[in-house]
Amino acid sequence: MPRRFVARRSPIHGNGVFATAPIKKGEEIIEYKGTLMTHAEADAMYGDGGETGHTFLFTLNDQYIVDANRKGNTARWINHSCDPNCRALIEESADGDPRKDRVVIEAIRNIRPGEELTYDYGITLDVPHTPRLKKLWKCLCGSPRCTGTLLKPKR
Ligand SMILES: [Zn+2]
């Protein structure tokens, strides 16, 4: 089966991933791959993450993070949107081994060729979401529903 997407420059941010063929709602598009690391290892390597503004880290579960800086695939270029056409799903392993959980990107509506693939990163930092950090994590998705930042309100 030919690939149904391609990575190229995006008007949202840096590189993006664009559909090259129709993708149906509910279809799995790609697995978010990378090197598995613990939260402690990620903190040691990248700090608390608040200062980078963009990240190739995906929280898999309470124990592990997928680090797409290392052995990542095209999925790491998929941008955030406040009105996304995909979502990131955690598929828990059948045998309960947290190392075998997977992140898959799935279409949440029908997607036309040429559309940029996006999902809601749903980021909350351990540190307070100050105006400065919100600006650092500024969202440029252009959707009418854009909240202006990738950071989610904390409860
Ligand atoms: Zn936005």
Quick one: pLDDT band at residue 52, thresholds 50, 70, 90? Answer: low
pLDDT tens-digit series, residues 61-85: 999 999 999 999 999 999 999 999 9
Q: Does domain 24-109+119-136 have CATH number 1.10.357.10?
A: no
CA–centroid distance, 146 to ligand 1, in Å, is 4
CA–centroid distance, 42 to ligand 1, in Å, is 26
What span, in angstroms and rounded, lies between the C-alpha atoms of 38 and 46? 12
Identify whether the C-beta of residue 30 lies closer than 8 Å to the C-beta of residue 123.
Answer: no
**Which residues make up the environment of ion ligand 1, defined by Cβ < 5 Å?**
82, 139, 141, 146
> Is the pLDDT reported for residue 50 higher than 80?
no
DSSP 22-61: -B-TT-EEEE---EEEEHHHHHHHHTTSTTTSS--EEE-S
CA–centroid distance, 93 to ligand 1, in Å, is 32
Q: Where are the domains of the chain?
A: 24-109+119-136
CA–centroid distance, 65 to ligand 1, in Å, is 24
